[in-house]
Amino acid sequence: MKVASIVGARPQFIKAAPLDRELRQLCTHVLIHTGQHYDYSMSAVFFEELHIPEPDHNLEVGSASHGQQTGEMLIRIEETLQRERPDCVVVYGDTNSTVAGALAAAKLHLPVAHVEAGLRSFDRSMPEEINRVLTDHLADVLFCPTETARSNLSHEGIAQSVFNFGDVMYDAVVQSLDVLRSPSGLLSSLDVEPGSYLLVTVHRPANTDHDENLLSILDALGETGEEIIFPAHPRTAQALARLGRETPSNVRVLEPVSYVNMLKLEKEARLILTDSGGMQKEAYFLGVPCVTLREETEWVETVEAGWNILVGAGKDRILQAVRGFQPHGDRPGVFGDGRASEKIARQLQLAYA
Ligand code: UD1
Ligand code: UDP
């Protein structure tokens, strides 16, 4: 069996890492990197740290508008798949690389497997929501990370070949637990004490591309008066530069950090404020309270369990949550048992070997 995985953006390298390890034990695994993310800190660092082999193909598509980027990916992925002729194509999550990979494969009549299928925000103004819906409707086999995701698919009439084996990002965290026990060089170089700081990331267009939202978030961060560590996505760094306003003195803006460094920063944070999907889950896995800078989430289980609160970008609601949000209760294990990738690899072998 030959399986081709299509990745391109930061969270996809993290999602593909545990599945890559499983697939390589069972079959030939071809890695196709679209080049959507290309800075060392957004791409290569994850391959090195997570021991993912160099991509077999780097399509070097780079940044562009949605149509241009997705179109260029479609052309280059199609050429690559025609040469490779895999037995099945795996796509991950909800980026432009995901939908381009699924569409190129489906048009070549290659079976498409979607890892992290069935998530919905029910907000079509998010580019990711469009990518998810299309990818799920193109996919032949759908791997849901939660029961909510499975039920979302069922409401759209997708019930065949749908599996909930758990979340591959939970696998990735479980596999990193050992390394998380070692002291963090980054924390000591930042000279911050565990439990004494807030960790912030922001990269959703709804927050970065609307100055009023970004300004309101920055004002809230400043008014907390707490020590804040803020690894900034390149989109966000550009938006901050465009604003041309000094960041509050309690906010330390960093370059993007590696996966292990991010997990360490998350684990020791007093609180995480984010609009990232992956980080809402990691906060939950690691037992750190999460304040989500959005009005809705795909990861509703984290909110229902009382460990995540949705506050949007309004200053007052952010401040209220930073000062008063107290998680309560257990964190039910709704994301699987840490062996999702093993089960996904086996299912692909059953279906396509
Ligand atoms: C993309 C995904 C988003 C995901 C995020 C993960 C889409 C539509 N969006 O958003 O779902 O949550 O990745 O991080 O696919 N840039 C660099 N260096 C890089 C990559 C990007 O400077 O290595 C800059 C470019 O100016 C680019 C901008 O960041 O225009 C945005 O990058 P892009 O990949 O278009 O979208 P993301 O915001 O990263
Ligand atoms: N991440 C990282 N370094 C950073 C920011 C995020 O390693 O500087 C990791 C984070 O721990 C999570 C993933 O990237 O595993 C989330 O990606 P991102 O927030 O870019 O996208 P999303 O999950 O929102 O699609």
Residues having CB within 6 Å of any atom of ligand 1: 9-11, 36-39, 42, 63, 94-96, 127-128, 203, 233-235, 238
pLDDT at 267: 96
Report the DSSP beta bridge partners of residue 2: 28
257 within ligand 2 shell (Cβ under 6 A): yes
Ligand showing the shortest atom-to-Cα distance for residue 98? 1
Ligand 1 probe mutation, 34, 95, 97, most atoms within 8 A of CB: 95
pLDDT at 188: 87
Closest atom, ligand 1, to C-alpha of 66: 8
Q: In tens digits, what is the pLDDT along the chain, a chain of 353 residues? A: 999 999 999 999 999 999 999 999 999 999 999 999 999 999 999 999 999 999 999 999 999 999 999 999 999 999 999 999 999 999 999 999 999 999 999 999 999 999 999 999 999 999 999 999 999 999 999 999 999 999 999 999 999 999 999 999 999 999 999 999 888 888 889 999 999 999 999 999 999 999 999 999 999 999 999 999 999 999 999 999 999 889 999 999 999 999 999 999 999 999 999 999 999 999 999 999 999 999 999 999 999 999 999 999 999 999 999 999 999 889 999 999 999 999 999 999 999 99
Enter the tokens of residue 2: 């030959």
pLDDT at 187: 87
> Which pTM value belongs to this model?
0.98
Contacts of range 70-75, beta carbons closer than 8 Å, 24 or more positions apart? 70/96, 70/99, 70/100, 73/8, 73/34, 73/36, 73/97, 73/100, 73/101, 73/104, 74/100, 74/103, 74/104
Residues 6 or more apart in contact with residue 297 via CB below 8 angstroms: 121, 277, 280, 303, 308, 310
| CA 64 to centroid of ligand 1, rounded, Å | 9
pLDDT at 313: 98
11 within ligand 2 shell (Cβ under 6 A): yes
Q: Which residue's CA is the nearest one to ligand 2's atom 17?
A: 11
Closest atom, ligand 2, to C-alpha of 201: 5
pLDDT at 328: 80
Closest atom, ligand 2, to C-alpha of 256: 8
Closest atom, ligand 2, to C-alpha of 232: 8
Q: Which residue's CA is the nearest one to ligand 1's atom 29?
A: 235
| CA 118 to centroid of ligand 1, rounded, Å | 22
Residue in 33, 57, 114, 203 annotated catalytic: 203
The count of other CB atoms within 10 Å of the CB of residue 195 is 10
Contact between 94 and 273 under an 8 Å Cβ cutoff? The reply is: no
Q: Give the position of tokens 């990916």.
A: 73
Query: What is d(CA 313, CA 324) in angstroms, rounded to the nearest whole number?
Result: 17
Q: Would you call 203 a catalytic residue per the annotation?
A: yes
Which DSSP helix (H) or strand (E) runs through 130?
helix 127-138
